[in-house]
Structure formats: C-alpha cells, structure tokens
Amino acid sequence: MSALVTDAKRAQLLANNREADPVPVVRLFTPDAHATWLLASLDPADDDTAHGLIDLGIGMPELGMVKLSDLASIVGPQGQPVMRDCYLQPTRRLSEYLRLAEENGSMTD
C-alpha cells in the first residue's frame, strides 16, 4: 500500500481530516480503466478509509469514501494496477474539483 500513499502524503491526509474543505493530497488512477480517486483526507480511526472525489469513468463523479487496501488490490482489464500520480500539484479545494467534475462529467485535471 505504500506505493499508493507515501508516509508524507499519509501524514497530510490525516492532518486534513480536521478540514471542512481540504486541498486534495493524492490522485490515484487506473491507467487502463479511466477511474480516478482524488483523495483529500484519511480517517485516523482505521488509517485506511480515505475521503475524496471519486470518478469511476462513467460520467458520475462524486464525493465518497474508499479503502486504500481495496484500491491496492484493483487490477484493470489490461493487468494494470492502481497507480499514484507523482506529479499532482493541487490548485483548488476539494469542493471546487467536485464542482468542475460535475460540470464536465469527469475530472479534467
């Protein structure tokens, strides 16, 4: 699971748990299945449940929760695992990413 979320990003996700509208910390994606998770916080109770914007590539992005352990076990149709976007530089709060994704039917950046 450390390949999905580094220790430094995990600390940021945990710190964001206190924020009402945090800036996202981690973007995970399936390179062969068009699914994206823009994660903003992590539940300190289990250190596995993340909250953020979920876009499964079906035109219905929404805020939700996902287990990092579940994401670590996903393999796409061409055998590609979920990967972390190492170049993410968030410029907006989570609510703004949600608004834009709802307008466009998917996450655009």
| Maximum separation of any 2 CA atoms in the chain, in Å | 38
Specify the pTM: 0.93
Give CA separation, 37 vs 48, 96, 107, 109, in Å: 14, 15, 9, 12
Alpha carbons 2 and 59: distance in angstroms, whole number:
29
Alpha carbons 97 and 102: distance in angstroms, whole number:
9
**pLDDT tier for residue 3 given thresholds of 50, 70 and 90:** confident
**pLDDT tier for residue 2 given thresholds of 50, 70 and 90:** low
What's the length of the chain? Answer: 109
Number of H helices, E strands in the chain: 3, 5
CB 91 within 8 A of CB 25: no
The mean predicted confidence, pLDDT, of the chain is 94
CB 53 within 8 A of CB 107: yes
